[in-house]
């Protein structure tokens, strides 16, 4: 028996709408605001101009003396930030001021591995219904461009890295939309096939179909991105005009020879503000990864104040810091600035909009959306005032592509910071060995930059 719900009480009536319109029209201040907002971007009216002007780019401690990179129309910020961290030591080893790793090479293998990871997850969940929340999440989120620090490390460990000149950008690496759409269609169709074969108990058919799908993904990636080198001849001229002929190197050899940090030494700190996830404990997210049987994504949950202090210490020691944040709120993109007080939308609309970080995470208002590199910090009398950020959006915005972040924005919108484990206290290093709390695949901590 079905029961029909009486919604008439909750419905908006003509009388209510008339009263709302009359109330609005009777307020001269609202009329003035309307006249402005219909003609001008609301951001221009809500911004604190004095605050934006005061947020200057110079900082007391700055590492960068190089040009920014450009991810263009792709979501590869996490790979760009990770490779930008690696290139700092590579430039020193090579004796050059400007150098880029191939972001296309790293993305190629991330896409290939992620397709295989998706198919593995589909087989693992094949006994669930098609409308199961996890199955639907896997199908909807398949093969995006975004990622996490640990996912970048998985690719570097297995495939190494190459100079950008060896595998340069292509149309599709810089504009991934069309390629991704085709790959998603292919993989969703493949998911349907594999689920049916698992239901039928056809083990041999599953193996053959999975191999065929991976071969098709490989074909599409290679057509769009080019053929990745298994080895290449490397020779270059350094900034002192000395010529170097290094012979033939594999990507793994190149990464080991020219980078100066050990990826195994680094840990991803996260600020999960929800009280049920205690600080000083580890977290992971089910079905979050890109390489089957590789190390899972692992976070150490710490207070944001500690994450800031460790990031500042790293910069003062001359080491940039990979970090992930919710990049959109309170940003002026063209000026390249962030401040948590930058826009007063509440005052403009006369509504209450303020929420704390925990509430924003719980109710879908905030999650990590972008990864970049901290390359400077402004410290006055021991207090951190602002941060210098290497973005990957080209040179047009900010200070030739470098952005400035107020310290209060770090508190509210930064979620992840990657540091050397040696900077942690003995208690926190020990916490890394404990079993992590496993969060569901759709948890906000599984958001991809």
Q: Are 345 and 42 in contact (CB under 8 A)?
A: yes
From 116, 244, 391, 408, the catalytic residue: 391
Residues whose CB is less than 8 angstroms from the CB of residue 265 and which lie 6 or more positions away in sequence, other chains included: 420, 421, 422
According to DSSP, residue 417 is labeled E
Calpha distance 371→417 (Å, rounded): 10
Calpha distance 158→160 (Å, rounded): 6
**Residue 59 Cα distances to 117, 236, 311, 388, angstroms:** 42, 34, 15, 7
Instruction: Give 384's strand partners.
Output: 379
From 330, 328, 327, 405, select the one nearest 46 (Cα to Cα): 330
CB atoms within 10 A of CB 143: 21
Active site residue 218: no
From 377, 164, 160, select the one nearest 263 (Cα to Cα): 160
Residue entry with tokens 């006055």: 380
Q: Are 154 and 296 in contact (CB under 8 A)?
A: no
Alpha-carbon dihedral sign for residues 370, 374, 380, 383 = positive
From 149, 444, 153, select the one nearest 322 (Cα to Cα): 149
Q: Are 389 and 400 in contact (CB under 8 A)?
A: no
CB atoms within 10 A of CB 222: 13
From 21, 49, 77, 218, the catalytic residue: 77
Active site residue 325: no
Residue 82 CA to chain centroid, in angstroms? 10
Calpha distance 140→149 (Å, rounded): 22
From 224, 277, 370, 408, the catalytic residue: 370
Calpha distance 432→299 (Å, rounded): 9
Q: Are 194 and 209 in contact (CB under 8 A)?
A: yes
Active site residue 301: no
From 92, 58, 134, 165, select the one nearest 379 (Cα to Cα): 58
Question: What are the residue numbers of the active site?
Answer: 77, 370, 391
């Amino acid at each position: 028996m079905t029961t029909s719900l009486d919604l008439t009480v909750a419905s908006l009536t003509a009388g209510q709408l008339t009263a709302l319109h009359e109330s609005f029209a009777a307020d001269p201040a609202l009329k003035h605001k309307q006249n402005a907002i219909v003609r001008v971007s609301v951001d221009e009216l809500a911004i604190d101009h004095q605050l934006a002007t005061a947020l200057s780019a110079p900082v007391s401690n700055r590492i960068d003396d190089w040009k920014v990179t450009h991810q263009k129309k792709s979501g590869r910020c996490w790979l760009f930030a990770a490779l930008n961290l690696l290139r700092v030591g590579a430039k020193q080893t090579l004796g050059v001021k400007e150098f880029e790793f191939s972001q296309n090479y790293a993305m190629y293998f991330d896409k290939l591995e992620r397709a295989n990871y998706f198919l593995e997850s589909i087989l693992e969940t094949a006994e669930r219904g098609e409308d199961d929340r996890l199955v639907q999440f896997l199908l909807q989120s398949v093969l995006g461009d975004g990622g996490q620090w640990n996912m970048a490390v998985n690719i570097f460990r297995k495939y190494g890295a190459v100079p950008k000149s060896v595998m340069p950008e292509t149309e599709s690496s810089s504009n991934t939309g069309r390629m991704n759409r085709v790959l998603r269609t292919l993989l969703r169709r493949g998911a349907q096939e594999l689920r049916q074969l698992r239901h039928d108990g056809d083990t041999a058919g599953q193996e053959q179909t999975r191999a065929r799908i991976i071969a098709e993904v490989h074909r599409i990636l290679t057509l769009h991105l080019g053929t990745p080198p298994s080895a290449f001849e490397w020779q270059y001229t350094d900034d002192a005009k000395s010529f170097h002929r290094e012979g033939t190197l594999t990507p793994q050899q190149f990464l080991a020879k020219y980078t100066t940090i050990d990826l195994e030494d680094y840990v991803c700190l996260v600020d999960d503000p929800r009280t049920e996830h205690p600080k000083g404990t580890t977290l992971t997210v089910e079905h979050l990864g890109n390489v089957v049987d590789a190390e899972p994504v692992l976070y150490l949950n710490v207070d944001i104040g500690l994450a800031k202090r460790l990031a500042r210490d790293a910069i003062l020691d001359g080491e940039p810091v990979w970090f992930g944040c919710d990049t959109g709120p309170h940003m002026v993109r063209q000026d390249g600035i962030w401040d948590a007080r930058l826009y007063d939308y509440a005052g403009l609309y006369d509504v209450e909009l303020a929420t704390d970080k925990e509430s924003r995470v719980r109710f879908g208002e905030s999650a990590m959306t972008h990864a970049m590199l901290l390359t400077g910090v402004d410290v006055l009398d021991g207090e951190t005032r602002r941060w210098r950020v290497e973005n990957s959006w080209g040179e047009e915005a900010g200070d030739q592509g470098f952005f400035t972040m107020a310290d209060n924005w770090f508190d509210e919108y930064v979620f992840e910071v990657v540091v050397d484990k040696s900077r942690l206290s003995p208690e926190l290093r020990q916490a890394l060995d404990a079993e992590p709390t496993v969060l569901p695949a759709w948890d906000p901590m599984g958001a991809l930059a």
